[in-house]
Structure 1
Amino acid sequence: MRRIVLSTESGADLPKDLAEKHDVQVVPMHIVMDGNDYLDGSLSVTDIYNYYSRTKKIPSTTSTNAHEYQEFFSRIKMDFPDCMIVHIGYTSKASSSFQNAVIAAQEFEDVYLIDALNVTGGLAAIVMYAVSLLEKEPEIEPKQLIEKIEAKVPKSKLAFIPGSLEFLRAGGRVSNAAYLGGTLLKIKPCIELIDGKLVSTKKYRGNMNRVAEKLFKDYLADYSIDRDQIYFIYSIGFEESIKQQIDSLAKEAEFKHIKWIQAGGMISTHSGPGGFGIAGLEL
């Protein structure tokens, strides 16, 4: 039986310990800051926030290009000879990265691509679902594996609260009027992935400890999430006391496994410090 290797992008925010433990290969996306192009992961999130503090500008982000994907898939082939690659990609509705992977995959006979239609923890949840499938059924046929993963894609639910409307304003995602109104009223928008697109669905008012709890309760009310696993995503600046509060709520909701994921550079560039998100898979 030929080995199946899973891969994804850095925009999945898949924790390094999980990627290394399960041999998931991760290709970096890009952050462009102050005229320099950095591979996502080579630049600390703190550097991004410090840059904004100095300039009041946020870096831009770009996708992995087709040439980089060719090199990435070739390297996997060298490291794992005769393997098959199943690449679970960042939503094609918000980045050209997946399309670039499609172009690169044409050079290979056994690279299979799945558009996860999700980002950060929502993408990581699908990747880890694929990991669990391979662990439970190591002899599974690639076609069957792909069918099961694709069937789970619409069941991955991600909702998050950006930590800073200031970052959204700097990135052109909210107007000055909306920023001022939101700041004065302490309104925080909830962003969800719907059909692969980032959509503002709800608005919450209050401090983050209150908002995070309300988001979690609404999330469980809106979706029938599998209680085996829940992922919480946070950006630097999210308070430890709120983490403990959310942990307690998740345990009360009888989640067996709780994993906290720190947002990397790609996601933090858009969400700002102190953000919070939830990802899980529906039954």
Structure 2
Amino acid sequence: MRKFILSTESGADLPESLAKRHNIQVIPMHVIMDGQDYLDGHLPVKEIYEFYDRTKKIPSTSATNVHEYQEFFKKIKTEFPDSIIIHIGYTSKASASFQNALLAAEDVDDIFLIDALNVTGGLTAVVMYAVTLLEKDPEMNPVHLLEKIEVKVPKTRLAFLPGSLDFLRAGGRVSNMAYLGGALLKIKPCIELVDGKLVSTKKYHGKMSKVAEKLFLDYLQQYEIDRQKIYFIYSIGLSETIKQRINEIALEKGFENRIWIEAGAMISTHSGPGGFGIAGIEV
């Protein structure tokens, strides 16, 4: 029986425990700070926050390049010579990473690539859906496997509340006027993935403790999410009380598996501390 190997980028924020358990290969993206290039996953997120406190600037981020992908796929093939690689990538609408993976895969046998059109927990949700399919049928035809995953890509829903308007402003994502108004009114924009693009869809008012709960209830009203699994994303600084309340609601709503994901450097650069998000797949 030929072995399937799943791979993705660090921008999925896939918990290390899940990656190890399911032998999912993860390639790092890049964070550039103080003129130095760091691999995402090797830079403590707290250093990003300290950098902002010191400079009032946020780091820049960049995609995994073609050479890195070539070495990554080569390493997988060396370790698992008869494997079939299924690479599930970070949305092509927000990064060149997926295009670079396509170029690197041109000379690789038995590799299939899927643009998840999602990031962080949304990307993890697609990867873990693939895991579930392979657990049920390890000998599935690769083309059939791809078809099943691709059906779920447009049904994967991510909604995220950045923890800090300061980070959005520093990254040029809100104007100074909008920032001042938002800060005064305690407005928190909801960021969603729409056709693979990060879009501000709604605005919430108030403290994160109330806003996180409201977002979750709105999300469940808008989308018919599969109750098997739901993913919650947080950036460092989110209150444990908020996490507890979200878990209570998820349990009340019948979610069997509630998985918390810590945002890595790539995502935290844009979110700031104390952010909260939700990801799941519609039935």
| TM-score normalized with structure 1 length | 0.99
Give the whole-Å Cα distance in 2 for the aligned partners of 1:65 and 1:107: 16
TM alignment of 1:91-170, pairs within 5 A: 91-170=91-170
Give the whole-Å Cα distance in 2 for the aligned partners of 1:20 and 1:113: 21
Aligned-partner residue type, residue 139 of structure 1: E
Please, what is the CA RMSD of the aligned residues?
0.5
Q: CA deviation at 1:13?
A: 0.3
* Equivalent position of 2:201 in the other structure: 201
* Equivalent position of 1:265 in the other structure: 265
Give the whole-Å Cα distance in 1 for the aligned partners of 2:73 and 2:109: 11
Q: CA deviation at 1:141?
A: 0.8
Are residue 182 (structure 1) and residue 196 (structure 2) matched? Answer: no
Q: CA deviation at 1:36?
A: 0.2
* Equivalent position of 1:56 in the other structure: 56
Give the whole-Å Cα distance in 2 for the aligned partners of 1:142 and 1:184: 53
Structure 1 unaligned spans of 5+ = none
* Equivalent position of 2:279 in the other structure: 279
* Equivalent position of 2:37 in the other structure: 37
Q: CA deviation at 1:139?
A: 1.1
| Residues 31-87 of structure 1: CA deviation (Å, up to 9, x unaligned) | 000000000011000011001100111000000000000000000011111111000
| Residues 79-105 of structure 1: CA deviation (Å, up to 9, x unaligned) | 111111000000000000000000000
Give the whole-Å Cα distance in 1 for the aligned partners of 2:79 and 2:268: 31
Give the whole-Å Cα distance in 2 for the aligned partners of 1:278 and 1:185: 24
Aligned-partner residue type, residue 38 of structure 2: Y
* Equivalent position of 2:229 in the other structure: 229
Q: CA deviation at 1:129?
A: 0.2
Q: CA deviation at 1:111?
A: 1.2
Give the whole-Å Cα distance in 1 for the aligned partners of 2:39 and 2:82: 28
Aligned-partner residue type, residue 123 of structure 1: L
* Equivalent position of 1:9 in the other structure: 9
Give the whole-Å Cα distance in 1 for the aligned partners of 2:70 and 2:43: 23
Runs of 4+ in 1 over 6 A off after TM superposition: none
Give the whole-Å Cα distance in 2 for the aligned partners of 1:155 and 1:22: 23
* Equivalent position of 1:238 in the other structure: 238
| Residues 241-272 of structure 1: CA deviation (Å, up to 9, x unaligned) | 00001000000001000000000000000000
Q: CA deviation at 1:107?
A: 1.3
Tell me the SS of whatever aligns to 2:32: strand
Aligned-partner residue type, residue 133 of structure 1: L
Give the whole-Å Cα distance in 1 for the aligned partners of 2:28 and 2:168: 23
Taking only the aligned residue pairs, the percentage that are identical comes to: 70
Give the whole-Å Cα distance in 2 for the aligned partners of 1:4 and 1:154: 23
